[in-house]
Structure 1
Amino acid sequence: MKPVRHHVTRILKFTRFSFSDLIASAAPTFLLIAALCVAAYLIVDPAPPRRVTLGTGQENSAYDRIGRKYAQELGKHGIAVALKGSHGSRENLRLLNEGKVDIAFVQSGTTDQAEAERRGLVSLGSLFTEPLWLFLREHKGKPPITQLTQLKGMRINIGARGSGAPRLFRQVLEVNGLDVKEIQASQLDNTPATVELIEGRVDGIVFAAAPDDPLIQMLLATPGMALFDFAQAEAYTRRLPFLTHVTLPRGIVDLGRDLPARDYHLIAPTATLVAREDLHPALVDLFVQAAARIHSGAGWFQQQGQFPSPRFSEIPVAPEAAKFYKDGPPFLQRYMNFWLANFFDRMWVVVVALGALILPLSRVVPPLYVWRIRSRIYRWYGQLRAVEQALEAAPPERREEVSKAQLERLNDIEQRVNQISIPLSFADDLYGLRSHINFVRQRVIGQVSSSTD
């Protein structure tokens, strides 16, 4: 039984298929594909940052208060919004151009389309109207001011430096044929300017702000303060296309006190949300969705659902924002957490990478598999060649001794070859190797016989 068992252990081990060799052959390819997919996921379409800087306005202004609402909305999704105060629209535009903020409130008419495209700025839409408010002190015995040309020589605070009001008011004066130098212009911040007006040190102040600004609310209810009525509002909108004609309805401030006592015509630019074009698309989606929640309600000058809107902005609208206004929120974000939806939305990058890599790289695996199996057989041919070289190099007097040593070496080679485990489809290569071993053995035996003779 022992010789039979010994013979069985030396029988060649065959398998139908070698999974271990396939895994070993395919592993480098799969690792390379995985690495490239991860690189595509992180580099081609990186995850949105968790912190963004928003340029707002003066302390307690409408921009400042609305900025806090945006911070609260984005905070629900794990995005920290740092609020950077400013004097207003013009300064916010400068901060955007200098890269000191990622997104900011900017008044329409502050910049033109060509400049915005050159600076790499995009609009996320219009948010609300910001009427141009001109409050004047009433003087007993003097007729009310009905034309801006009557402001010549008067002390008017035209808005804080860095805000959008000074530039806007200059444009309004120019279409009336009036130069700002013809009035005594000052540029105090809104709060000190309001104090100056109430105490009579200036004759009028200019605001470009939403009606819920606390200073606007206070001045509308303060006796002795007259709001200028832009009776030619429609004409202004034709001359300055970024303006719209809005009406302050009678009694809107206080119905019981009938404030104001009549309708007032006003001209209004719109507040727009402007971002640098490199702001991550996912953050654009979040800001536009937040804008829809914050600004979609009815107000003094707007109907339900009128804002936010892609209209009323000379700055090109970002593609993601335009898509939102057309189709609503991204499909996945309607049903999933923001980060989970963003993950699946970005997975298309990995899918494209896989499609581009799997087909060509998969063609490498079969040849590697074949080479790995056959290399177990072919490496023994080097041993056979070494046996032949040893015979050829042996001197005549040592040929018999060398031949016997090589016979033992061949027996060892054959024993090891018989232990090789390979798939059945490669059996012909293995049997070919065994026949070649036998061929070399016969040659060595012939050398031994010739040496004996």
Structure 2
Amino acid sequence: MSKIRFTLFSMKDALFAFGPIMLMVIAVIVAGYYLVDPAPGRTLDFSAGQDNTAYQEFATKYAQELAKNQIQLRIHKSQGSQENLHQISDPDSIIDIGFVQSGSTNQADAEAQGLISLGSLFYEPIWIFYRNKKDFTSLVELKGKRVNVGPDGYGVRRLFTQILSVNNLEESDIQVQQLESSAAAAALIQGKLDVLVMSSASDSLLVQMLLQTPGIKLFDFVQAEAYTRRFPFLSHVILPRGIVDLGRDIPSRDYHLISPTATLVAHESLHPALISLFLQAAKKIHGGANWFSKQAEFPSDRYTEIAVEKQAEKFYKNGTPFLQRYLSFWMSNFLERMWVVLLTLGALALPLSKIIPPLYVWRIRSRIYRWYGQLRSVEHAFDEATSKQRKQIAQEQLQRLDAIEQKVNHISIPLSYAEELYGLRSHIQFVRKRVLGETA
């Protein structure tokens, strides 16, 4: 126990000296944490698509990636792109982000609704599957046919209507059906439908199944380049020969397709820190090569009519934010949000470093110096006494000196200040000798 008392540094005194300043610093950091650019939420709502669609599968992968950073992504089913767009732009909706097909809106409407784009993710070709003995060479040949374009929430219906218009056709020229994709595929195979129009990534199991179903043909957009000039949000992609099954040579030739892209669209209220996190996930999920895109072609800031958010543009230009390359998402976000507070505290560090050490020294030495006041009062009482009173006063002051000395002997101070303690004790002896000398 005695070894603990005789130390070079007093933790207790340090806490009294540093404590108030540290409490103030902690209070500033805590206040800044909640008031300066609040932290992103840990739960987000994502509008995807129907079961067994590429939208739903990709949304699940996003949920898995974000879960690695303790963010829960709640996935909501929808009819497709148009419904997703409506949900994201609706101020009463809980949806924060979702997949939207390019061509579903325009830049002016998107800005008015507070929509932002995080970029395009993958090609979603227009697949037109049909049953017919003769190959269709033009969309004009769809006139009078039973054509399924999906429910109203599907983005493909709006796009297909635009495609019909440049072929001098209207919806009234075909028999429009609105079955969901799985039901429509079954109806097409059974001969209850003539044409199935859908837009989906190559990952769609339904697309891969139809490409391998005997009797089902795929429309070849031989005028694909012309379509992309008329509709800038469309791209010309090629389904290579044998890509589905090389051994069976499916398909048996190259097919030209026109394709919008799936984009990641959010409301402008989405926290900026989450944008780079979503794009890091997008890079992992969509960055590989597939039937239509090359390695690292996606995600991209192209192919979207909705303005790409500034934070997303920084990601496409510079990659993952610097701090997130070395720290966890939440730690890097904390430092990015608190840099103003931390910079202010850094500026105060120099003056605080000059104030706190003297406070510590004063607290240690004040424990000794206050006894000099007691010694001074002993001398004063003795000096003020008359010659007749001196003997009695001397006895009283000697007792007082004994009491002072006893208390001083129990003072605990760091060894680095022992010189002041021993000086005090020698001065007590000096006063005692003076009192005894006057009474001898």
Mapped pair 1:111 → 2:105: yes
- What is the distance in 2 between the residues matched to 1:129 and 1:230? 16
Matches for 1:3-402 after TM superposition, within 5 Å: 35=27, 37-98=29-90, 99-139=93-133, 143-351=134-342
CA distance in 2: counterparts of 1:349 and 1:294, whole angstroms: 35
The 3-state SS of whatever aligns with 1:300 is coil
The residue identity in structure 2 corresponding to 1:50 is R
Q: Deviations over 1:265-291 (max 9, x none)?
A: 000000000111111112111100000
- Whichever residue aligns with residue 80 of structure 1, its letter is Q
Between the aligned partners of 1:239 and 1:103, the Cα distance in structure 2 is: 29
Scaled by the length of structure 2, what TM-score is found? 0.72
Paired AA for residue 107 in structure 1: Q
Q: Look up the equivalent residue of 1:184 and give its one-letter code.
A: Q
CA distance in 1, matches of 2:330, 2:29: 19
Q: Distance in 1 between matches of 2:343 and 2:45?
A: 33
Q: Kindly provide the CA deviation profile for residues 293-317 of structure 1, in whole angstroms up to 9, marking residues without a partner as x.
A: 1101000000001001011011111
Paired AA for residue 170 in structure 1? T
Segments of structure 2 that go 5 or more residues without pairing to the other structure are 1-12, 360-440
Q: Is the 8 A contact 2:120 2:261 kept in 1?
A: yes
Work out the CA distance in 2 between the residues paired with 1:52 and 1:332: 23
Structure label with greater radius of gyration: 1
Cα deviation, residue 36, structure 1: 5.2
Deviation at 1:208, TM superposition (A): 0.5
Q: Is the 8 A contact 2:36 2:337 kept in 1?
A: no
Give 1:254's aligned amino acid. D
User: What's the CA shift string for 1:344-364, capped at 9, x where partnerless?
Assistant: 2222131366589x69x99xx
Q: Is the 8 A contact 1:40 1:353 kept in 2?
A: no
How far 1:108 moved relative to its partner? 0.4
SS of equivalent residue, structure 1 residue 259: coil
Q: Is the 8 A contact 2:238 2:257 kept in 1?
A: yes
- Name the CA distance, whole Å, in 1 between partners of 2:344 and 2:89: 35
Farther off after superposition, 152-161 or 239-248:
152-161
Mapped contact 1:132–1:206 kept (Cα < 8 A): yes
Deviation string, structure 1 residues 407-442 (Cα, Å, up to 9, x no partner): xxxxxxxxxxxxxxxxxxxxxxxxxxxxxxxxxxxx
Q: Structure 1: which 4+ aligned runs deviate by more than 4 Å?
A: 29-37, 352-356
Q: How many residues align?
A: 338
Deviations 1:38-96 (A, max 9, x none): 33331231111111111110111000001110011111111111000101000001110
Aligned residues: CA RMSD: 2.4
The Cα offsets for residues 13-52 of structure 1, whole Å up to 9 and x where unpaired, read as xxxxxx99x979x96x997776455333312311111111
Matched residues in 1 for 2:163 and 2:227: separation?
Answer: 8
What corresponds to 2:393 in structure 1?
A: none
Q: Is the 8 A contact 1:130 1:271 kept in 2?
A: yes
Contact kept? 2:224, 2:236, Cα under 8 Å = yes
Does the Cα contact within 8 Å between 1:41 and 1:349 map onto a contact in 2? no
> What percent of counterpart residues are identical?
54
AA aligned to 1:44 is V
Name the CA distance, whole Å, in 1 between partners of 2:344 and 2:259. 49
Q: Which amino acid aligns with 1:235?
A: A
* Distance in 1, Cα, partners of 2:184 & 2:94: 28
